[in-house]
Amino acid sequence: MKRISVGRRLYVTILGVFLLFTVAFMLFQHAREKQYKTDTLNIKLQAYNTHLADIMEYVGRNNEKALDDFVREHYMHGLRVTLITRDGRVVYDNVRKDYENFSNHANRKEFADALANGSGFDIERKSNTLKHDYFYSATYLPKEKLVIRSALPYDSDLAKTLQTDRHYLLFAFSAMLLLTIVLWRFMSRLSDNITKLRIFARRAARNESLETEDLAEFPDDELGEIAERIISIYKNLESSRQEQDKLKRELTQNIAHELKTPVASIQGYLETIQDNENIDEATKRQFLDRCYAQSLRLSSLLQDISTLNRMDDARDFMDFEQVDISLIVDNIVKQTALQLQAKNMTFCNRLPAGVRVRGNQSLLYSVFRNLTDNAIAYAGKGTTITLESREDEDCLYFTFSDNGIGVPAVHLPRLFERFYRVDKGRSRKMGGTGLGLAIVKNAVVLHGGNISATNNTDGGLRFDFTIRKQH
């Protein structure tokens, strides 16, 4: 079954609502106009009745000739004038004179309304006398205790005056036709946009090319602009996804390469021990120590990879709390005291007490611990590590620097890349995983900050980074 397009459904719905509104308005206008014309005719006949009542004050109610003369002089086509007593008897009629044959009029609507309210009217009631439909208008005269009733035939001429103006109907129909054309053109443009978006969605779902003629250009309106932006966003996301896939492939290759080295070393040492039964204990112990060192490196590598994955995939699920950074740094200084002493290095911690932020305890520890380990490994013997900070209302600003050998300027932009090493052989010898600074950058970004690396003018490497107080 062929589905009806959204544009067509919307067009039919709006057109249906408009037609319903138009019909309802026309019916309302018809009723209002008919009421207006009815009231106008009633006022006209009531004025006639009042004029006749004034004449009766001079000629008397029983002067039939004078009444006939007045009706002839003020005659309207088909006019009928009747005088009725309070009990419903007809005492005068300009058309018939056999009053004894008239039925009692006490039950007539216009008569009853006139007695009750002073005036009344009725429409389209057939006269029992003349067998014709009339419009009746009655006026009660309390002084004479009479009801003057004038009537006009409800013929085609009178019915025409009570019908809705044909000009209005023509105008309403023309307006509806014009609106239908305008609505159709608008819905056609909308349907074109929706059709192109549907084609885009289908091709995107099938991983087909989006550089096609039917998607090249949208109508020049707001909907077209929105559609083009949607496609542009998708293309950017697709490009980003492809780049991410490329990075993941490179990362996978790097991880495999980094894991291969310690695994191969451990395997080689163990195979040597296994294949040489007569190997002396000192050599065996040396090989086992090397296996253990490689296993530690392997464990450290796996831990760093796990940390990065946790930041990439589960950042929304990390726990944030008030963290005392001053206390974290004090503990790191104590934990690395032996390593610092072995290289005759000094850690100059200039953080004031009680430096606090809202963040993740483990990740903030990784930031300062990895920066410290990196400085210990590569700054050189006899150097000094300095940590300083300042703050404003929103952020903490840290400077972590050393006065060591620094890093060649060409390497600075890539220091935070995963598995990037300035000196690959030296880095592996020092036990680094190549992920420490990548962890630092991701953790800083996760805490709403940024980080940069520069060389000090007087030597050594400097890291400047920020951490938001509330994140």
Based on the domain organization, do 464 and 340 belong to the same domain? yes
Based on the domain organization, do 360 and 373 belong to the same domain? yes
Based on the domain organization, do 329 and 304 belong to the same domain? no
180, 14 contact by CB (below 8 A):
no
Based on the domain organization, do 78 and 129 belong to the same domain? yes
Based on the domain organization, do 11 and 158 belong to the same domain? yes
The count of domains in the chain is 3
- Which pLDDT belongs to residue 149? 92
Q: What does each of the 471 residues of the chain score in pLDDT, given as a tens digit?
A: 455 565 567 667 777 777 787 777 777 777 777 788 788 888 889 998 889 888 888 877 778 888 888 888 888 888 899 999 999 999 899 888 888 888 898 888 899 999 999 999 987 655 555 566 788 999 999 888 899 999 888 764 555 555 555 666 677 777 777 877 777 777 776 666 677 677 777 776 676 665 655 555 655 656 566 666 776 777 777 666 666 666 556 555 555 555 666 677 778 778 888 888 788 888 888 878 878 777 776 676 667 666 666 665 555 556 788 989 999 999 989 988 998 999 999 999 999 988 899 988 888 888 898 899 889 988 889 999 999 999 888 899 999 999 998 888 888 888 888 766 665 544 444 445 667 788 888 888 888 889 999 998 888 999 999 998 876
| Sheet strand arrangement including 133-141 | 90-93, 80-85, 146-153, 133-141, 119-126
Contacts 24+ apart (CB under 8 A), 243-252: 251/418, 251/419
Q: How far apart are CA 445 and CA 467, in angstroms?
A: 8
- Which pLDDT belongs to residue 426? 46
Q: How far apart are CA 367 and CA 397, in angstroms?
A: 14
**The domain containing residue 257 runs over which residues?**
218-313
Q: Which residue has the tokens 């004029």?
A: 51
101: which DSSP letter? G
Tokens of 354: 């009680």
The answer to the question of residue 53 being in a domain is yes
3-state helix, strand, coil in the chain (%, to 5): 60, 15, 25
The answer to the question of residue 170 being in a domain is no
Of 162, 183, 208, which closes a domain?
162
CATH code, domain carrying 283? 1.10.287.130
Based on the domain organization, do 115 and 62 belong to the same domain? yes
- Model-level pTM greater than 0.75? no
CATH code, domain carrying 327? 3.30.565.10
**Residue count (the chain):** 471
Judging by beta carbons within 10 Å of its beta carbon (0-12, 13-18, 19+), is residue 154 exposed, middle or buried?
Answer: buried
- 386 strand-pairing partners: 348, 401
Q: Which residues contact 323 (CB under 8 A, 6 or more apart)?
A: 356, 357, 358, 359, 360, 361, 364
